[in-house]
Amino acid sequence: MIRQRQQRNAIVLVLVICLGGCVPGLKDVHTKPVPLDARLVAKIGLPVYPNASPQPMALQMHMTVSTTTSDATSAQYLAGDELARVEAWYQTKMPKGSEVTHLHLGVNGIAEFQVASGTTIRKVQLTGVAGKTQIQLMVMRLQAPSPSPT
């Protein structure tokens, strides 16, 4: 439990540092751990690799940049298979052309798939390390600012 909390806190810290330094106009970031259950997976709307072990907690994030707000939900899994195998499976499940990143260094590397529809972005991020693959599934919904009264 302590290790999971440390992992979650590290992920949140990296997000806040990266977004704070890389995104001009970052005003607000709130994160909250939530249980990873079937309803949450359905909300994310992405396929889960067979036999991948879910991490017990998912993460919800609310962020405001300038005048745009986004809400994101992410879930993490660990697969005992190498990156190439997991990536090949997602290539058959995700729309053609949705793979935006592909970098392999032996059994290590990264791959990312992204699909956007309207103001919703769905991502699959794969990280291969030592013959295993970390899978992050995420959905982000952007909300444009309300017009200000004139």
pLDDT along the chain (150 residues), means of 10: 44 45 60 85 94 86 72 92 96 96 88 94 94 94 65
| DSSP designation for 55 | P
CA pair distance 40, 19, nearest whole angstrom: 24
Could you give the 3-state DSSP secondary structure of residue 8?
Answer: helix
pLDDT of residue 69: 75
Q: How many CB atoms lie within 10 A of CB 83?
A: 26
Sign of the four-CA dihedral 9, 10, 11, 12 = positive
Cα distances (angstroms) measured from residue 4 to each of 33, 49, 57, 61, 104: 11, 21, 8, 17, 27
* pTM, entire model: 0.76
Give the mean pLDDT of the chain: 80
CA pair distance 45, 115, nearest whole angstrom: 11
pLDDT of residue 9: 44
Which residues lie below 8 Å from residue 99, measured CB to CB, with a gap of 6+?
87, 90, 91, 111, 112, 113
pLDDT of residue 63: 73
Half-sphere exposure of 140 (CA within 13 A, CB side): 16
